[in-house]
Structure formats: C-alpha cells, structure tokens
Amino acid sequence: MTVTRLNPPGVYNPSDAITQVVTVEDVRLVQLSGQVAFDAEGQSVGPGDHAAQAAQIARNLDAALASVGATRDDIVQETVFVVDYTPELLPAIFEPLRAGTVRTPASTLVGVSALFAPDYLVEVQVVAAVGPVPAATPSGPPSVGRAAEEDLEAALTRRAWADPAFAEQLERDPGLALAALGVTVPPGIAVQVKLQKRDTLYYLVPPAKEPGEPDRCEAVNLMDQWRSGDTFVWVLPERLKAGLLAMRRGFHRSRPTTDARSSDDS
C-alpha cells in the first residue's frame, strides 16, 4: 500500500488544509456517500451554522470510516459542497474537518445554491485509502464466516507499522485509534499505548496494595501480562481482564463477513 501526497513546485497551494496531488498504489479504496449534519437519530444539527454542521459531518465521517478500519487521515480525495459560500467561511468549515488529523487530501470546494433539504449548508463526499488490495484467492466457493481471523493486537501492530499517522494517534489518543478498528473501550477503563523503541528499556511500576486487598508474595502479581502469540502486549490489573476480552470480542464482531450464498439463493 502506497499513498503519496505532493504539492509540486509550480502548482500554487492556497492552504495547508489540502494537498494538490495524491497518488495511491495497491490500495483498497472506500467511497462514502455525501455526509451532511445528521446526528445518529437523523436529526438536523446546527441549522444555519456552517461550523456546527462541519463538526457534525466530521463526526459522521469518523463513524463511517471506523466501520472499515479507517480514519479521516486515510481520506485521499474530498468534495465539499457549501450553500451561501464566501471565502470567510473557510475556517469555519475546514477547521472541524481537519481537527485531529495530520494528513490532508486532494480537495475541491463547490459553492451551491442549495442541498437536498433547506436545513443543510454543508455536504462532504470523500474517498479513503484503506489498506492494501486483498491478495487473490484460489477459485471455488468462498468460505462462510470472518473474512480475516486476525487478533486485535496483530491488527493494531500491523496498522501502526504501515501507517505512521495511525501509530502517532495510537499513542496520543488510543480510544480514537481503537475506534478506527471497530473497538470501543469499556466505561471506566483507560488505555495507554507506548510504541516500543529498540534502544529503550521499559519499567512499569505496579500499583500499591489497596486497603483490604489480600497480601501478595510479589507486588508485580497485582498486574497481569496478556500474551498474544509469542509476545506480551498488554499489562493490566487483573480486574480489567473482562474489559480487555470485551474489546477483543468487539474487534472480531466488527470484521466483515463473507456470505457464501449467491444472489440466486436469496
């Protein structure tokens, strides 16, 4: 998977919120329908307010992209439609759309007289690059079940290796990064992620014994190391095991499935 973003000499770039040239190679592309300021219940958000509508659209994009394991940093092309456009509206529209991102797409803004309903002032349509093109599989009937039985830990590691922006987000805002993989952190649980460095020694100080907690032979036994494959990847208080299991189950539930039925069987 290769995505290259360029602002070549001789091509004027009016804003650091966009990129003039984006190329993609060996990439699976995801196309989203135009997003407007609906909330999850279909109610209009921010009537008459371009900034409020752009912020809701950013939330809608986050949710839609998370369903395919992507974030707004994976957007490679966007078209923004704006009712009653004037140049003074640019910050109100693009600041919410770019909030929390480090990469910018090729972008077109179109001023329009109206969208599909009078409450809506902004609509955004995007194309995102989401991982490599799947390898060809042998001919024959597809298998039923999960398209990829990959552990959460393997998916996080693979994505962090391939995508520096995702790796940075994983350390800065693990909850948002996990959401991009379809994982919801249970209430009452905080997640911290460190990107291991080859020249760094890590030491984790275990928590002190809480009042009423049984005595332990060793303080480190207050923690549990969770193995994935040949590597310890989680260190957690024992009472949070159920939360971690819920996160891992949520990841597997979010993976796409392959249906073996043909259209003639429906």
For the chain, how are helix, strand and coil distributed in percent, rounded to 5? 30, 25, 45
Across 37-56, average pLDDT = 94
Q: Which of 110, 132, 154 is the last residue of a domain?
A: 132
Per-residue pLDDT band at 246 (split at 50, 70, 90):
confident
Tokens 């196309």 sit at which residue?
A: 31
50-94 confidence digits (pLDDT tens) = 999 999 999 999 999 998 888 999 999 999 999 999 999 999 999
Q: Which helix (H) or strand (E) holds 163?
A: none
**68 located within any domain:** yes
Residue 74 and residue 109 in one domain: yes
Across 38-50, average pLDDT = 93
**37 located within any domain:** yes
Per-residue pLDDT band at 231 (split at 50, 70, 90):
low
pLDDT at 254: 75
Residue 95 and residue 158 in one domain: no
Q: Which of 105, 132, 159 is the last residue of a domain?
A: 132
**168 located within any domain:** yes
Structure tokens at 160: 């962090």
**207 located within any domain:** no
CATH of the domain at 62: 3.30.1330.40
**174 located within any domain:** yes
Does the pLDDT of residue 122 top 80, yes or no? yes
Q: For residue 34, what are the domain limits?
A: 2-132
Q: Which helix (H) or strand (E) holds 52?
A: helix 50-66
Nearest to 69 by CA among 174, 147, 179, 154: 179
For residues 66 and 184, is the Cβ–Cβ distance under 8 A? no
Residue 94 and residue 161 in one domain: no
Give me the DSSP letters along 67-90.
Answer: TTT--GGGEEEEEEEEET--GGGH
Burial state string for 90-114 with b = 16 or more CB within 10 A and e = fewer than 16? bebbbebbbeebebbbbbebeeeee
Domain count, the chain: 2
Q: pTM here?
A: 0.53
Q: Which of 132, 156, 175 is the last residue of a domain?
A: 132
**108 located within any domain:** yes
**209 located within any domain:** no
Residue 183 and residue 243 in one domain: yes
What is the β-pairing status of strands 145-146 and 122-132? unpaired
Per-residue pLDDT band at 148 (split at 50, 70, 90):
very low
pLDDT at 264: 41
For residues 128 and 74, is the Cβ–Cβ distance under 8 A? yes
Residue 239 and residue 188 in one domain: yes
Q: Which of 42 and 108 is assigned the larger pLDDT?
A: 108
Residue 125 and residue 153 in one domain: no
CB under 8 A, 24+ apart: contacts of 171-179 = 171/195, 173/100, 176/62, 176/71, 176/100, 177/71, 178/247, 179/62, 179/66
Q: How far apart are CA 63 and CA 235, in angstroms?
A: 29
CA dihedral 86, 88, 89, 91 (to 10 degrees): 150
**213 located within any domain:** no
